[in-house]
Every structure is written in C-alpha cells, then in structure tokens.
Structure 1
Amino acid sequence: MLNSIDLFSGCGGMTLGFGWAGFNSVLASDIDENCEKTFATNFPEIPFLCGDLSNFSQEEFDKIINNQNIDVIIGGPPCQGFSLANKKRNKVSEDPRNKLFYEFVKTINWYNPKSFVMENVKGLLSMESGQVIKEIQNEFENAGKFGYEVKTKVLKASDYGVPQSRERVIIIGIRKDLGLIPEFPAKKYETGITVEEAISDLPQINAGEGEEKMVYPQKPANDYQKFMRKKAKKVFNHIAMRHTQRLIDRFKAIQPGKNLLDVWETHGAVQRGNPNEKSKIKFSQNNLRLIANKPAPTIAASFQSNFIHPFLDRNLTAREGARLQSFPDDFIFEGMRTKMSWEKGLSQYQQIGNAVPPLMAFEIALTLKRVLENGNQEEKTEEQYLAFNEPEIIS
C-alpha cells in the first residue's frame, strides 16, 4: 500500500478520495481547528497536526510517521493570494499566504516521496503573467535529492462524476530517478451529474427547517444517490438557514439560472440602517438559483449565500453543498454551521467549499497509483469510462 502525507488537508476531501483509491494516509495537517474536528470524526485513525505548517519540525513529523516510507505528499496550499477573485493578484508576490507553498516543498525535501500532487485555483496560471507557475514548477523540478518530472493541467470536476463545473489546477510530480511521466485521469463523463440527480432524494425542507439527524424520505433514484448513501443510515448537516419573509419573496421571484441582479428593482438589497433605500453594491453571484438539469457552478467557501435551491425558496444546506462536492452522506461536518465574523475556525459551509471534491481526487489518485505501480501504460477503454463507476472503497 502506498503511504501519503496530507498537507493543508482542510476537512479531508483529498484524503477521502486518495483513501478510496487505496492510499494510506500516515499524517495530516491543517491550521484550522474546526477542520481538525471534522477530520478526527471521519478519519479517527489518521494522526493530525493542527497548526501553522511552518511551526512544525521534521522531528515532530518523524515521531508520528515512525520510519514509514512516504510515497506521495498531497495538498492544496492556501490559494487566496493566487485567486482570480483577488484583483491584486499580479502584485502579491510577497503575499505571506503564498509563502506556504514553500512549506509544501520543504516537506518534499524532507522525505523525497515518489510523487506529489498539489491542487490550486486557476488564477495561479495567470499570476504575474505566468511567472508564478514557472517558479513553482522550477521549485518542484529541483526538489529533494532527485528532482521531479512535473506536469500541470486544469481539471474540471464534472468530468469525473462531481455534480459541479469546478475547475482547478492540478500539479503532479514524479521523482526523476523512477523514469516515469505524470499522467492525468481521462475524462469520465460526456455529460455531468446534474444538481437534481445529486440532491433530489434529500428531505425537501423549507427555510428554518431541518434536524441534526433526519431520515431519507425516499429510496435513491440513481447511481450517484446510491453511492452517496452507501454507508449512511441517516441524513446529517441538513438544516436550512432561517430567512426573513423579504428574502423569501426575493427568492420566489428568481428564476433558474438567474440571480439578484435580475430582480434588483423590486427585490434588491437595501442599505444597512436605511431600509427605504437600495444598496448601490451589486454582486452577480448573490442568490443564483441553480439549474436543476445541469451541474452546479463552483461551490466556493461562500456558497451559503451564493446559491438558491433549484426548486425551494431558500439557500442550500451544508449537506446539499456536500453532495454537490461529492462528499458521501456518512461524512459528518463539525463546528458551527455558519460563522459570525468574530468566531474562530471555519464553518461547515466554508469547510465544504474549500475542499477538493473527493471523486475528482479519487480519479487523480487512481491514475497516479497505476503509474507508480505499473508504469506508463495505455489508458482504460472509452467504454470503461462512460458508465458510472463508483470507487471501490478499499479498507
């Protein structure tokens, strides 16, 4: 079995996907205390170091790893400094959030793993006119004792069974002395899993409704729902946020694929402290009603207010967001559901939105495992990819 170290693990999306593919995580680390709680609930057997990675020494890692061989290091260093949403991204070469990338490289230098997988946002490719990605690739090519053969590609989550059109940069490196070339998983779906296919079997609750544990109101209607419910007997994390009647009336007026800007004159946001005047601040992503028969847009950390249920007049629940990220129903999220500005730790919504979709991570891991164990070979036939093929969970 191939051993992994999971850095910047968040709540464990990559850990889960790599685990499905048969990788054995021997250590995980993240700075967020609520991610640690969620990780411990779902991976009680994996040691977790909570804190700033730059504050941990190799001795602390070695004590946990206990002389086990490290085959792959995976993770997604914090990406805010690289994000397309950051309008100053071409002026952030000194952003301390980007420095954590070098902590990722440092850990590779410690253990010389056979391979690494790094995930990040598409904005990474355009930062400083492409100079940042060149620097990153150069660092990886010269990391460790042997250096790494490095390949970079943008992958779309919906191509791998995730009901979401999320795109992410994936960087894969394989140690040069192994004589292998990194490969990316082949596209698995011609048309993606839709929002309705992903969430229609969950309890249909209105704003302010839901309980900590709920029963399924119906049998799974498709293979995706069967996979999501494979090990679950109850529905967790499915409590709808409370909304004012003014907000519910706004939601009622928004059609599928439309958002707040489409109903602004009647239902636009009002100024704080002055409810008789419309706010002059407009956001196109606020209150977008999802289209039932298409994959969802990117489920970001702010998805609690970005999206409206395709049929119901409310925002998504944490569980619905988890379904759209491909987290199965037995994966339980800890910490506060939503977050006030003064509260510490990431909310359940933020943990879900920040995660790597497990099904996409699984496909990346499966391809990497094949290359490491069997070398560069022909890909699977097209027929093997076009039908839904849930991961065989290896335990």
Structure 2
Amino acid sequence: MRIKKSTRGGLTFSFQPNEKFKVGSHYRYVVDMKSQEIILLADEDGKYKLSRKGVNARPLVDLRNQEIRNTLSLAAYMEVEVLNDKIIVHIIKKDVNMDNMSERDIIDMLDKETDISFAVSKEELVEHDSALVDMLTAAGLFSQKAQDDLSYVFDTVSLFSGAGLLDWPFKNDGSFDIRFAVDFDKSACETYRQNIGDHILCMDIRDLMEDQIPDADLIIGGPCCQGYSNANRAGNTEQDVSKRLLIDDYIRMVKAKQPLMFLIENVEQFITKEKGKYLEKVLTELSDRYNVTYSVVNDWELGGYSKRKRMILIGSVKEMGKVIIPNVELVTKKTVRDALSKVTADWYNYQDVTNPSPSTVEKMKQVPQGGNYKFIKGMENLDRHSCIYRRLAWDEPSVTITNWRKSNLTHPEENRILTVSEAAAIMGLDKRFKFFGSLNDKQQQVGNGVTQAIAAFAKSIIKTHLYAFANKKLGLKVMEDKAKEVINTVGDLGWTQLSLFGGVD
C-alpha cells in the first residue's frame, strides 16, 4: 500500500482490511521523496500496530511541516519513528533505488545503519491550518489527477443559501463558478451578496420556477434545518413540518436541472427524524438517476473548532459511480483558544455583541469553564438544554454554535456572550467575512450555517469526483476522436469497414 505524504499537518484515516493490513498487525513506513509517497510495509517486527477506530477503521499518523520538509528534501528515502514525545527521522541512502525491491528487501535495508538521524519534538510538527483539502489529497484519499494538468470549472447552483457559509469554500476555489443562489431571508441574502456575489435571488424557493435556475454541473444546499434539529424541542408544529417539506423543493430542482452531482448538508437528525421520512424522500425520488451516499461528520475531527455534527449527503450520476465519504480524523485537534486567539479588532463584527443584564452577569459568574446552568444557584434541578449558560473552556472544542444569544453561550473568562466575530471564528471563518443585518440577524446567520471544516471537506470530495469524471469523459473523447481519425484514414485506403474490437474486414 502506498499513501502520498502529507505536506501540511497530521491526520488519521481508515481503510478496508486485507491479509496484510488488519487490526493488530504491525507495520513500518518509509517516505519516497522522489514520488512524494509514504510506503506502508507490513512487518511482524514493525514498531507500529494498527489499532481499531470504530468497527473497521485503522489509523495512520503523518506529522510534517515546512521547517523539516526543507531538511528532508535532500533525502531519497527515510523512515519515520513516532514516539510519545518526539518523532525521529532516519534518512536512508540518497542513491538507493527501491523500484525493484521487495518489501522484505526494503525492511532489511532499513535495519542497516542510516546516513543521518535527527529528532523533532511533536509540538513543532503539529501546527495545523485549515488546508484540509491539501491534506486529504496528499494522504492519497483523493488521488485522481487532472489529465495533462487541465483545469475544469464546474457550474454550480446554490439552494437554501443562507449567508453563504456552505458556498464560501466553493467560491474561493477556482474550479467552481456559483452561477445562482436563492434564499428567502433578506439579511442573509445581503450577507451573501456582499461576501460571495450578486447572483443570489431573495425569494421563497417554493415560488421559484425551474426555468429560473441555470443548468449546472453541481447543486448544493442545506434545506432549512430547524425542523429536523433536536435543539428545536417542539419539532412538530405546522411551521416545523412546512420547513421539513422544503426538501421537496430541493428534490424538484435536482430533477429539473439533472446536475452531475448534488450535495445536501443538514443536522444529523435529518437521517432519523420521523423514522427517516425525509432521507427516504431523497432516496426514493432521486435514486433512479443518482447513486446516493451520506454520513455524519464532526467539525472537530475535520480540523474545526467545535463539536458540531452535520450530515452530508452526496448524489452522483450513475455513470460516475458511487461517492465514498472517507472516515477522516485529524491527529491534533483545535480548541476554543485557537479560534478566539485569531480574533482581533480589525475583524468585521468585532463590536457586535449582546450586552447581558446585571442579573445575567451574576448567573454567569457562577459557571466555571465547561459548566452550564447546573452551577447556578436555584437552577440546579431545572431541565434545560445543556447549552444554557454554557461557559466555553479554553482548551476544549466549542459546543455547537446555534443562536448563542438565546442560550447565553459564555466567553471562557469574561462574563458576556460571544461577539459575532468570535462565533464566526469558531465556525472557521476568517476576518474577510462580514455579516449584515440587525444584531439578531447576524447571530442567527452564524448559527444557521455550516462550519468551514465540514464545508471544505464536502467540497474536496465533490471536486475530486468531478475531476475524475471529467478526465474520464475527456479520455473517452480523445479515444473517439482517434478512432474517427483511423476510420477516416482506412476509408481513404478503400477498406469497407473497421471493427475497433475485431480488426479490419
């Protein structure tokens, strides 16, 4: 098994077991600098042992940063030894050629004395940024390459666009051209327009006609999720049911425009609410043309700052094949401290905060980091949502960001709720993104959105499969063109028929 090296930070990933690689088996790995790959070697005497994550998952650690990449670039091959507090890199002979060596030969070579060896502390290696796409690609999870380095631009339509948090990673990737978006919320539409583009139409999607939407390769969107969420304790009002039925309009548009792929992101309860009624709608209505796959992902495991979970559902046309949503978890997790430390006075919405009343401040004072209303005198025995008066902890991930004003989600040290910019940072946004509308509008827009780690994760999967499909179609077209050229040539020579499979008649 070969896994491309990570050029960014650390990650773990899972794969299907086989005879050599299964739970409990030992392994070693080396880095091929020429092809920039990590080679996993099954070895009974190997230093590493595959453990279990879930039912069939196996982790692989790969920690790296720019500082040591420059040093290691001189080596042809190396062995990386991961210890509790440090990583030891053994640089192998620079002129060795492993192309024709067996795994046993490689292991024997590694057991010999190496040219250079040095150690680097893990603290120096585990600094991560938000480049999840790069890490996934570098890890070999997504290995499709553009044919002849061609670039593609995929026309994209966004439904239930909100403030544009799902669209933001797509907007910042030149492979996607978002040509149309729609949402009914005026303030959210203004936020979208100012950050992403003027292509958003502010109206109720139930009144939107199919011919108002351009043709597209991809449709993305998150149908209104309040009706599905457990945060909505009532959940069965007429308004809630109406929101849930908005999935019908998403399905209607996919049927009409027939994109190559579509993406739905929503709360995890979308899968189970009312015995799976809403998921079943998607599967029943769209499975004739599309393969559909879905999974619940965790923002924190994908490089985000919160424990927010979302369902991502991806449909792909039958000829493209079924998309696999990989089980990915970063080795080093981010915390509230990592998010809030980014926020400075030059961020948009820095001053946007709801000031608590004196009585609310007194309640906040009683809650320690990580605690909630249960620590407040007189509220200990109440039955409330666990986020009520929740005080964030510096060195832990945030709880899910909803409209935190309503729950009094509290700063780790100060007796106040989060500012809009602080909540945006926890969602993974940076200072370029500005929210518009009233203070309540801004808070609601943040709470309604998807985190950037999850959005970028979904985008990376979609981009890879669209590129692979485009490459395949391009390859077929090249073959067809060549076949036509041969047929024309043969025709000029006077032969009557050319069989591509059986020769010339």
TM-score (normalizing by structure 1): 0.74
Distance 1:174 1:201, change over 3 A: closer
Structure 1 residue 49 corresponds to structure 2 residue 161: no
User: Percent sequence identity over matched residues?
Assistant: 26
Work out the CA distance in 2 between the residues paired with 1:292 and 1:94. 35
- Which residue is equivalent to 1:307? 409
- Which residue is equivalent to 2:61? none
Work out the CA distance in 2 between the residues paired with 1:55 and 1:135. 20
Q: Is there any run of 5+ residues in structure 2 with no aligned partner, and where?
A: 1-152, 472-505
Work out the CA distance in 2 between the residues paired with 1:94 and 1:194. 33
Residue 181 of structure 1, aligned match among 322, 346, 352: 322
| Residue deviations 1:333-364 (CA, integer Å, cap 9, x gap) | 000112xxxxxxxx101000101112321121
- Which residue is equivalent to 2:439? 337
- Which residue is equivalent to 1:103? 249
- Which residue is equivalent to 1:228? none
Residue 350 of structure 1, aligned match among 444, 449, 457: 444
- Which one-letter code corresponds to 2:465 in the other structure? V
TM-score (normalizing by structure 2): 0.59
Which range moves more in the overlay, 235-244 or 128-137? 128-137
Task: Report which of the two structures shows the higher radius of gyration computed on alpha carbons.
Answer: 2
| Residue deviations 1:346-383 (CA, integer Å, cap 9, x gap) | x1010001011123211211111111212599xxxxxx
What's the CA shift for 1:88? 5.5
- Which residue is equivalent to 2:186? 33
Work out the CA distance in 2 between the residues paired with 1:151 and 1:80. 22
- Which one-letter code corresponds to 2:178 in the other structure? S
- Which residue is equivalent to 2:453? 359
| Residue deviations 1:250-295 (CA, integer Å, cap 9, x gap) | 2222101111221133xx59xxxxxxxxx97755321100011111
| Residue deviations 1:63-83 (CA, integer Å, cap 9, x gap) | xx3xxx511100011122222
Contact 1:89 1:128 in 2 (8 A): no
Contact 2:160 2:224 in 1 (8 A): yes
- Paired residues in the alignment total 317
Contact 2:244 2:278 in 1 (8 A): no
Structure 1 residue 254 corresponds to structure 2 residue 367: yes
1:206-355 equivalences in 2 (<5 Å): 214=345, 234-239=346-351, 240-265=353-378, 268=379, 282-303=384-405, 305-338=407-440, 347-355=441-449
| Residue deviations 1:12-46 (CA, integer Å, cap 9, x gap) | 011102223432100010010001110111123x4
Work out the CA distance in 1 between the residues paired with 2:322 and 2:273. 26
Which secondary structure does the structure 2 equivalent of 1:81 belong to?
A: coil
Q: Is there any run of 5+ residues in structure 1 with no aligned partner, and where?
A: 204-213, 215-233, 270-278, 339-346, 378-395
Work out the CA distance in 2 between the residues paired with 1:52 and 1:236. 29
Identify which of structures 1 and 2 has the higher relative contact order when contacts are C-alpha pairs closer than 8 Å and 6+ apart: 1
- Which one-letter code corresponds to 2:310 in the other structure? R
- Which residue is equivalent to 1:79? 225
| Runs of 4+ residues over 6 Å off in structure 1 | 90-94
Distance 1:87 1:247, change over 3 A: closer
Contact 1:157 1:164 in 2 (8 A): yes
What's the CA shift for 1:246? 2.6
Work out the CA distance in 1 between the residues paired with 2:309 and 2:181. 24
- Which residue is equivalent to 1:171? 313
What's the CA shift for 1:188? 4.5
Work out the CA distance in 2 between the residues paired with 1:151 and 1:354. 23
Contact 1:73 1:108 in 2 (8 A): yes
Which secondary structure does the structure 1 equivalent of 2:246 belong to?
A: helix
Which secondary structure does the structure 1 equivalent of 2:443 belong to?
A: helix
Work out the CA distance in 2 between the residues paired with 1:108 and 1:335. 31
- Which one-letter code corresponds to 2:361 in the other structure? I
Distance 1:102 1:327, change over 3 A: same
Which secondary structure does the structure 1 equivalent of 2:394 belong to?
A: coil
- Which residue is equivalent to 1:391? none
- Which residue is equivalent to 2:462? 368
- Which one-letter code corresponds to 1:259 in the other structure? N
